A and B are shown apart, each in its own frame.
Chain A
Amino acid sequence: GAGVSQSPSNKVTEKGKDVELRCDPISGHTALYWYRQSLGQGLEFLIYFQGNSAPDKSGLPSDRFSAERTGGSVSTLTIQRTQQEDSAVYLCASSLGQSGNQPQHFGDGTRLSIL
């Protein structure tokens, strides 16, 4: 079956522009996660959705970052007024439920480059 799909796969934009990243989770997966992976770094947790609600936004680095999820499915991560330090790979993952024993299924990520 289809896995987690992210688009675009690559995005290059100028500093100060807004960007929108999209994630299509596996059908039926109620939990959705966004992570940021900088070069040579591990995964930095950004936000988690259970259904359309985001019970944990603690990882969002600043108020320039926001995310939403609609219909319990597609999620978008928006970065406003991008800065060069926002350059990273943004990974989305989904899981069947919110329990800690549910493995995450990852998309291939969006590589964001801020010029």
Chain B
Amino acid sequence: AQSVTQPDIHITVSEGASLELRCNYSYGATPYLFWYVQSPGQGLQLLLKYFSGDTLVQGIKGFEAEFKRSQSSFNLRKPSVHWSDAAEYFCAVAASGGSYIPTFGRGTSLIVHP
């Protein structure tokens, strides 16, 4: 079975600073990887996804993520954070074969200081 770890519970950055949120997964083959964002009182919105091919994927709202097989990681990045990016971010992994129910990390809460 797959698993995913988001080692940072909270991340605080200043507006305009760069951001990297960490995600590590465990799965025997190449997984399907996702990043979602959740604003207060709302459901999760898909930011980006990786299935195969180019390991650097671009998403919405200026986010990107890089799949590194050697490190079993799929870290989310943004060059310049805006105050509106403050939210909860979830990494998810789904098996490329077998169970198609994604496994979610516990989430990272992003706090943006003005």
Contact = CB atoms under 8 A, between A and B. Distances in A.
A108 B105 contact: no
B95 interface: yes
Contacts, number: 56
B46 A103 contact: yes
A100 B44 contact: no
Contact of A100 (B32, B36, B41, B90): B32
Contacts of A99: 100
Contacts of B51: 101
A100 B43 contact: no
Given A100-B32, A103-B34, A42 B106 contact: yes
Given A33-B101, A42-B106, A43-B104, A91 B94 contact: no
A41 interface: yes
Interface in B59-109: 90, 94-97, 99-107
Contacts of A105: 46
Contacts of B36: 106
Interface residues of B, number: 26
A48 B101 contact: yes
Given A43-B90, A100-B96, A101-B94, A56 B41 contact: no
Contacts of B94: 100-101
B32 A4 contact: no
Interface string B36-60: 1000011111100101000000000
A78 interface: no
B90 A42 contact: yes
A90 to B, nearest CB: 11
Contacts of B106: 41-42
Interface of B: 31-32, 34, 36, 41-46, 49, 51, 90, 94-97, 99-107
Which 8 residue pairs of A and B lie closest in terms of their CB atoms, listed nearest first?
Answer: A106-B43, A100-B94, A42-B106, A100-B100, A43-B104, A106-B44, A101-B32, A108-B43
